[in-house]
């Protein structure tokens, strides 16, 4: 996730439960049978919000936190204190990223519970976890060289490759598939799966009409825009088109009066305003990108159009993926065009 704060003065969102942020190992009730847990994690975000839902014959957990002994210890504290002697029967992962899936295997083994997930994210997660450090694909090197990576950055990529699987307990062999629009009974209430695209292959959000809330994962965050990236595994993809379409779709089908339960940051009301702001942010970024490409630029040259903060070593990869996502979207809209030089580097300019 890249720091690209979308704050532009007035903030139309209303934040809720800000004085009831759960302490480590504690829960905060935010609706009937819906409990908020906050787990510590690395990086600038510093935390992830995960959810404990009272189910008919036990509990459902939505997202799991990162794969560390600290987080597992906090889960144990919660199990000891808040489960009323009932088991965790189901674990739902909103999407494949390891702050969400890190402890899926551990939880499912511990409780013999089912994993529920979208199909694309289940398999993509398995594939990424199977990458071995020694198997850096040459196509990925070509992809990042095309984006403008220096030899030093390419070495950095080689060193990072194959680490995904180390940051999670392996997923169970089998799972229950969640599809868009699916009805899921949790604790006798109707929850609807709403699938979003652009940040993950098939990101699951869970909307409960009766409770007037939505568990949004990373699909709808306050204050920051989720990373929307092109990856070497699908080098010509246009995830930004899908992302913007998802924001529009969510705004069309969801009522404006929901409480949004995001994976990072504060709970809030104002889902339509937030979706509009997310779309606007990318549209403005595309305009800035167009201006910047008055003279030819590589993907790694266009960060100033997209990010306010300085790009560090750790944010360089997601920033590059996000830059390419914007370039591909601009290319499909025919406002930018691309030419490759003799070294295989792509140079983007106004069409
Ligand atoms: Zn994510």
**pLDDT, tens digit, 9 for 90 and up, residues 109-120:** 999 999 999 999
Q: How many A from CA of 102 to the centre of ligand 1? A: 12
- Ligand 1 centre from 30 Cα, in Å? 23
Supply the pLDDT for residue 4: 44
d(CA 16, CA 30): 9
pLDDT at residue 123, rounded to an integer: 98
Q: What is the pLDDT of residue 44?
A: 84
For the chain, list residues with pLDDT below 50.
Answer: 1-7
Residue with tokens 């089912």: 114
Ligand 1 mean position to 95 CA, how many Å? 7
Say what the pLDDT of residue 310 is. Answer: 87
Q: What's the start-to-end Cα distance of the chain, in Å?
A: 30
Q: Tell me whether strands 88-92 and 114-117 are parallel, antiparallel or unpaired.
A: parallel
Cβ count within 10 A of residue 248: 13
From the CA of 341, how far away is ligand 1's center (Å)?
Answer: 34
- What is the rounded distance in angstroms from the CA atom of residue 222 to the CA atom of residue 218? 10
The alpha carbon of 276 and the centre of ligand 1 are apart by a number of angstroms equal to: 20
**Burial (Cβ within 10 Å: 0-12, 13-18, ≥19) of residue 80:** exposed
The confidence score (pLDDT) of residue 9 equals: 62
**Residues, CB within 5 angstroms of ligand 1 (ion):** 97, 218
- The CA distance from 222 to 236, in Å, is 29
Cα of 258 from ligand 1 centre, angstroms: 21
Distance 218 CA to ligand 1 centre (A): 5
What's the 84 CA to ligand 1 centre distance in angstroms? 31
- Per-residue pLDDT at 313: 86
CA of 199 to the centre of ligand 1 (A): 7
What is the pTM (predicted TM-score) of this model? Answer: 0.95
Per-residue pLDDT, 8:
52
Dump pLDDT digits (tens) for 155-188.
999 999 999 999 999 999 999 999 999 999 999 9
| Separation of CA 13 and ligand 1 centre (Å) | 22
**Whether the Cβ atoms of residue 330 and residue 340 lie closer than 8 Å to each other:** no
């Amino acid at each position: 996730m890249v720091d690209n704060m979308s704050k532009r003065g007035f903030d139309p969102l209303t934040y809720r439960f800000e004085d009831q942020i759960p302490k480590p190992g504690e829960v905060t009730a935010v609706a009937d049978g819906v409990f908020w847990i906050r787990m510590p994690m690395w990086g600038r975000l510093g935390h992830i919000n995960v959810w404990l839902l009272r189910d008919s014959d036990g509990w459902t957990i939505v997202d799991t936190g990162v794969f560390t002994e600290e987080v597992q210890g906090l889960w144990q504290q919660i199990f000891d204190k808040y489960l009323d002697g009932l088991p965790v029967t189901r674990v739902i992962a909103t999407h494949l990223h390891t702050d969400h899936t890190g402890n899926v295997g551990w939880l499912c083994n511990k409780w013999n519970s089912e994993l529920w997930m979208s199909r694309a994210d289940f398999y993509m997660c398995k594939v990424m976890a199977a990458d071995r450090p020694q198997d850096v694909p040459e196509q990925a090197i070509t992809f990042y060289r095309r984006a403008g990576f220096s030899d030093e950055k390419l070495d950095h990529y080689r060193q990072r490759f194959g680490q995904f699987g180390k940051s999670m307990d392996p997923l169970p062999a089998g799972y229950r598939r969640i599809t868009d629009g699916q009805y899921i009974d949790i604790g006798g209430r109707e929850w609807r799966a709403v699938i979003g695209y652009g940040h993950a292959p098939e990101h699951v959000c869970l909307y409960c009409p009766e409770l007037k809330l939505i568990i949004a994962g990373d699909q709808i965050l306050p204050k920051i825009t989720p990373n929307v990236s092109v990856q070497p595994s699908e080098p010509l993809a246009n995830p930004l088109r899908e992302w913007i379409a998802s924001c529009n779709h969510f705004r069309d089908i969801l009522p404006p009066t929901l409480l949004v339960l995001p994976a990072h940051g504060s709970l809030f009301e104002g889902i339509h305003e937030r979706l509009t702001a997310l779309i606007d942010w990318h549209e403005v970024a595309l305009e800035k990108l167009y201006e910047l490409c008055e003279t030819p630029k590589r993907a790694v040259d266009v960060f100033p159009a997209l990010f306010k903060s300085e790009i560090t070593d750790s944010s360089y990869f997601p920033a590059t993926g996000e830059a390419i996502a914007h370039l591909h979207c601009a290319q499909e809209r025919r406002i930018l065009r691309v030419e490759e030089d003799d070294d295989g580097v792509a140079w983007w300019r106004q069409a």
